[in-house]
Amino acid sequence: MDQKKRVLIVEDDQFLREFYEELLVSEGMNVETAPDGETAVTKIHEGGYDLILLDIMLPKKDGLEILRETKMTPPSSPNGPIVVLTNIGQDAIIKSCFEAGAAGYMIKSALNPDQVLQEIHNYLQISRLIT
């Protein structure tokens, strides 16, 4: 049997953070959360996540800063892809995220929970094939 997928959700909105956590736990995933950028950086640098879902607008450090930092300072244990999950849909921000190392970009308001879950499964599948 496959080992439980380890996912980090970086989201400052408590309702959304708990909603996505519950959604992924119900799918059998091992989920950790970070409510702000500083906590996220610490967890990302420890590593070992199969997937990281990263919001852009965060207290203490924003998602772009986290992406850039992660690219410059690799984690102790490798992580799977970092996928941005945000409501910011501006082309310049999207481009900056990909340049900083994001593997994907999802706009929360454009996707229902089933679509978000399907995308997460897709990224986890890709991650499994790469590693």
Domain definitions of the chain by residue range:
6-130
**Mean pLDDT score of the chain, rounded to an integer?**
92
Assigned fold of 6-130: Rossmann fold (3.40.50)
Q: Given the structure tokens 């990909």, which residue do they identify?
A: 98
Q: What is the pLDDT of residue 63?
A: 96
Confidence of residue 104 (pLDDT cuts 50, 70, 90): very high
Which residues, at least 6 apart from 50, have a Cβ–Cβ distance to it below 8 Å? 5, 6, 7, 79, 80, 124, 127, 128
Examine the pLDDT at 95 and tell me if it is beyond 70. yes
- For residue 2, the model assigns a pLDDT of 55
* pLDDT for the residue numbered 129: 61
pLDDT bracket for residue 3 (50, 70, 90): confident
